[in-house]
Each structure stands twice: as C-alpha cells, then as structure tokens.
Structure 1
Amino acid sequence: MNWITNYVRPRINSMLGRREVPENLWIKCPETGEMVFHKDLEENKWVIPASGYHMKMPAKARLADLFDNGDYEALPQPKVAQDPLKFRDSKRYTDRLKDSRLKTEQDDTIVAGLGTVKGVKLVAVVHEFNFMGGSLGLAAGEAIVKAFERALKEKCPLVMFPASGGARMQEGILSLMQLPRTTVAVNMLKEAGLPYIVVLTNPTTGGVTASYAMLGDLHIAEPGAEICFAGKRVIEQTIREKLPEGFQTSEYLLEHGMVDMVISRHEIPSTLARVLTIMMKQPAISKETALARVPDAA
C-alpha cells in the first residue's frame, strides 16, 4: 500500500463518481475454476451448481437453512476467561479474538440453536470455521456442553455440524481439556436415550475428530469433506509412503466404514427428520413433509 493507493485513487474515484466493487462478488470453484455469482451461490446453499462442490457455509446461515422457516432460538454464549494463558505469538491472542469477532460477528466459534426440522424438535450445534479455523477452546467447549444440557432439558436430539482445525493452540492444555468434557456431555445424552447425530463438514480434523465428532449414533458427511486427525502431508512424511487418491475424504471413509452416509447439503434437513423419527420411535413423516419445508404461518 502506498500514497497512490491510499490517497490518489480514492480522490479520482470520488471525482468521477466511481464506486469500489467488492472483491467477493464472484466465487471461483476450487475444482473446475468456474466463476459463480455470490448471490446464486448463497441461494444454492453454498454449493457450486455445475460441479456440486460444497463450499464452506457460514454457521448462522446453516442454522437458518436447517430449521423450519429459519425460525429457532439462539442459545446464549457462556462467559469464560478470554486469555487465560496471556498468550502471544506474532500477535496477542486477545487481538486475534477481536479480529475474528469483527469478521464473523460472533463471540466465538460455536453457534447453537433450538428449533424444529420438518416438525422434529432438536438442538443443532455448528462450528464457524471463519472464527480462528473453528478451533476448540474454553468458550467453544463450554458452549457445546451447555447445548447438550439444553437438549437433555428439552428431551430432544442434538445434531452436531463440526468444521474445525482442532484444538486452539493459544489456550494450550485448557483447550485439550474440552475433549473429555464434551465426551462426557455426549455420554450424558446417550444415557438419557436421546439420539446424537454428527454431520461432518469440510474440514473436520484434529482434536475435534478425536472426540465428539466421531461419537455420534449416526455419522453423515457432506460430499468431498476432509475428515481426519492428522493431515495427509504429515502422515506421508511420517510413514514415508504415498497415500491413496482421495484419502481422508467423505467418500473414502464411507467406503471403509468410517461414516454411515454421504449426502448433499440440500438433503440434510429431510434426512435428519426421517432418521430422527425412527430413532425417537415417532410416527413416520410423509414424503411431502420430508421433501418440503414446513409452510409459513401466513
């Protein structure tokens, strides 16, 4: 950046009445290179229409898409210590948190809500990957535990949508402590006889995979999602061998029995409703209800 960029160009644009065009109006498909207008991508649930490639979906948008008519009760974010280790690398941890909150308009990586999906009441927990890579820290762990407690109180299932790089290094051992805490919360739900379903999204890695992301009664995955503990490059450098094509993708894990089904994002609400009615021994929903949203009250 220099004086031409900072001063001259804005002055010329203001005199000519020109407006700066946002850089994210067009999104490039990572697979085919196709350019897609951002509004078209949003309307298609962040799935590239031609290739079917599943882009990362914002957490709040996922909740609004999942619940009937986009109507749900947002669960509060618990208050925790912000920087317990006074951590600093190239930046202070508190500054990284401020940047992520400004970027995502969220307190931390976890967003949770209570509502109905095709008439089935459930609690949904979603990772926001744009908040420090969806990493698991004190705030995220506490939010997940509180979401499980709410599901127990409501006597309803919980659906988890992980998208994470793993534990949050800026919180050290305190981050790793969230793995057993969330595992205990999963067991509490199971002991109550309530279903726990995990919808694995891209990417689901590290300590999140090593804990609650792989403890579901049913594991659904979005197409092409990377699901692993250690990355492909780390494994190849460790064992000094080339890994198979598509290793650690949803389709590879389905073929080897690690996930139960791989389905398009468009089919997730109807699939969850259908599966949960079976698990909860509720009356079967009609095909029309499974394929369509609950109509607006109007």
Structure 2
Amino acid sequence: MLGRREVPENLWIKCPETGEMVFHKDLEDNKWVIPASGFHMKMPAKARLTDLFDKGEYEALPQPKVAQDPLKFRDSKKYTDRLKDSRLKTEQEDTILAGVGKVRGVKLVAVVHEFNFMGGSLGIAAGEAIVKAFERAISEKCPLVMFPASGGARMQEGILSLMQLPRTTVAVDMLKEAGQPYIVVLTNPTTGGVTASYAMLGDIHLAEPGAEICFAGKRVIEQTIREKLPEGFQTSEYLLEHGMVDMVVKRHDIPDTLATLLKILTKVPANDVSAKSKNGAALPVAANA
C-alpha cells in the first residue's frame, strides 16, 4: 500500500472567524485578508513593507547592534535559544523592520512589527531600531508611519525593556518638534507597553478592521473586575466609536489613505506630489502641519 503524501501544515490557512480554509498562495495574493469573510490575518513584516511602498521598492534600514542577553535570562528555556528560534522562524534579527521609500509618491519612513518574532515584543533591539528610524525620518525631513503588532514589553529583558517606552516616546516628540507627521496604523494585536507608549502618540491613528487594541487583555480585565465586558470591547470598531482612533481602514486601502493624509499634513497638493512653483522650483514638502 502506498503511503499518504505528507502535506505541509501551512499549505491551507483556516479563517478564525468562519472556519473557511484558504490556500496560502491565495491568502498572500490578497494581502493576508480572507477573501470571503474579509478577516484580516496577521501580515508578515516583510510583506507589509513590500506591499506598502510603490513597486515594492524601498531602502531597508540596518538592524542596530545591541547586547543579546544582558540579564542572562532563563525560564523554561534560555532567552538566547528563544531568539535563535524566532530568527529561524522569521528570518529577521528582531521584531522591527524599517524602510525608507515612497507611498503613492510621498516619501516616508515606515516601521513594522513582526508579531511572529516573540509576539512582536519590545526589547532593546526593537527600541533602538525604532529610535534610529525616527532619527532617519528627521534627517530626511519626511513623515514616519508605524505599524505596531505586539504583546508589549519583552519580559526576558526586564527593566531594560521598559526603558524603551520613554526612549521611543522621546523619539516621537523629536519628530513632532521637527515638524514632521507621525501616523500610526494599529494592527492586530497592539497591546501592553507598546499601546502605553508610541502606538498611541500619533498625530492620526488608523486601525485595521477587527484589530485588538488594548493595554490589558479582555480576559485579564474580566477576571479582575469580575464582570462581563461589552461585545466587541477593545476592537478597532469599538475604539472608533469611542473616539480612540480616527479611522478604521481596510488593508487594501491603507497606502492610498496614508498618501492622502500625508499630502494634507505636509501641504502637498493631492493631485501633484512633486508640486512646482511658478518658476519651476520644487515646493518644500516638509512643513509644520
């Protein structure tokens, strides 16, 4: 008898909302959105950057060199081993990827969390990468767009992880002092210390449909207050209804929405990104919005 051929586990993806099985290539081609239900799956950081920038072209910012395991942390597994596993899984050095490029002709720096790298947690490497990205946006005189997807601070780095909250907050303030817009696109999930810092400090906050956005999770709150929370609590739509985010935007519409907003904030005519003055000189893109 011939043995059954082994099928890779990730060949078919199950929709968490409807249970529909979707072929992985179809899901990737649809920007990791389930075609029938419209459910927004977690999107890999590299795919996010490629999809965002015009023609998928951008300059990747280098990963900063930092101490790998300053606390020599170990629980059921060495922290260094967890890092190795995540790097093998994601082909990234840490959770943050950043790039400089154009979105519908508008130059910007984009910073993206990779949730599959230890839950997108914020540690020394991620904090340093975020600060460097803000510094690059300031030097380039261009906006910065953040795509958080995180469980919060990285527990294996203790207080050194928590230090990244004020560091990144200062970086946000520096960009704003430079007169450049900062837009946050909240994705699923955005929680913990990331929500308590740079993820909620944008000039404008967009959110993908159905994203969980909170500090403490629903289950933790319910166990603490011993009450049932409202339906849809801590979702993008709930936060929009209560004034915590400005827009809920489908993933396919994010590049166009960002470009429109940034043209307004940087005072670039919507129909002409490279606006010209009467003598043909380029008008300044950077302006105090």
> In the alignment, does 2:35 pair up with 1:49?
yes
Residue in structure 2 matching 1:227, options 213, 237, 240? 213
> In the alignment, does 2:36 pair up with 1:37?
no
Whole-angstrom CA distance in 1 between matches of 2:62 and 2:4 = 43
Match of 1:21 in 2: 7
Residue in structure 2 matching 1:256, options 221, 242, 245? 242
Asked whether the equivalents of residues 274 and 285 of structure 1 are also in contact (C-alpha less than 8 Å), the reply is: no
Task: Give the letter aligned to residue 130 of structure 1.
Answer: N
Match of 2:158 in 1: 172
Q: Counterpart of 2:87 in 1: which secondary structure?
A: helix
Q: CA RMSD in A?
A: 1.1
Alignment of 1:98-137 (within 5 A): 98-137=84-123
Deviation at 1:197, TM superposition (A): 0.2
> In the alignment, does 2:214 pair up with 1:236?
no
Q: Deviations over 1:56-95 (max 9, x none)?
A: 0000000000000000000000000000000000000000
Task: Give the letter aligned to residue 227 of structure 1.
Answer: I
Whole-angstrom CA distance in 2 between matches of 1:269 and 1:220 = 12
> In the alignment, does 2:270 pair up with 1:267?
no
Task: Give the letter aligned to residue 34 of structure 1.
Answer: E
Deviation at 1:285, TM superposition (A): 2.9
Task: Give the letter aligned to residue 48 of structure 2.
Answer: R
Match of 1:192 in 2: 178
Task: Give the letter aligned to residue 282 of structure 1.
Answer: V
Instruction: Call closer, same or farther: CA 1:187–1:234 in 2, change over 3 Å.
Output: same
Task: Give the letter aligned to residue 165 of structure 1.
Answer: G
Task: Give the letter aligned to residue 113 of structure 1.
Answer: G
Whole-angstrom CA distance in 1 between matches of 2:13 and 2:26 = 10
Whole-angstrom CA distance in 2 between matches of 1:155 and 1:68 = 19
Task: Give the letter aligned to residue 263 of structure 2.
Answer: T
* Unaligned runs of at least 5 residues, structure 1: 1-11, 287-298
Q: Deviations over 1:175-218 (max 9, x none)?
A: 00000000000000000110000000000000000000000000
Which has the larger share of helix?
1
Deviation at 1:17, TM superposition (A): 9.0
Whole-angstrom CA distance in 1 between matches of 2:216 and 2:253 = 29
Task: Give the letter aligned to residue 131 of structure 1.
Answer: F
Alignment of 1:273-284 (within 5 A): 273-284=259-270
Whole-angstrom CA distance in 2 between matches of 1:100 and 1:121 = 31
Match of 2:145 in 1: 159
